[in-house]
Amino acid sequence: MEIKQNGFQVFFDCDLDDELVQFEMQSKGYLYGTILKINNENEFQINFYDSTRFKQDVDDELKMYSFFYEENVVLVDKITKEKLLSAINDVFLRGVYKKMIPVTRK
């Protein structure tokens, strides 16, 4: 699924309008692999989490390793189409993407 806005495009690996996809996203508490493309140039992969799932993943990683790290993480209170699109819009408008690590193509 692709969404175009003024100044950026968003590419989702899934159809956010599909009810089963919506249910699965909310149940899992995350959505990986969203691509934010700014002005047809830089691309950033964003990984979305709700706070409950994020804490679970951090706790699991800390049990296995001495640290947790994941680039370009965006937390939302609920994994819904509306929340994701709102967060992406804010990431763009506030320039947060400038702090993100871009996707490198080999």
Give the model confidence (pLDDT) of 17-70 as tens digits: 999 999 999 999 999 989 999 988 899 999 999 999 999 999 999 999 999 999
Helix (H, G, I), strand (E, B) or coil at 48: strand
pTM of the model: 0.89
Alpha-carbon distance of 98 to 6, in angstroms, equals 17
**What sections of the chain are H helices per DSSP?**
19-28, 51-64, 81-93
Alpha-carbon distance of 91 to 105, in angstroms, equals 22
Nearest to 97 by CA among 54, 46, 47, 50: 46
Which tokens in the block code for residue 27?
């149940």
Alpha-carbon distance of 102 to 35, in angstroms, equals 10
Mean per-residue pLDDT for 62-81? 95
Dihedral sign for Cα 31, 25, 96, 9, please.
Answer: positive
The model's confidence at residue 106, banded by pLDDT at 50, 70 and 90, is: low
Which tokens in the block code for residue 16?
């956010």
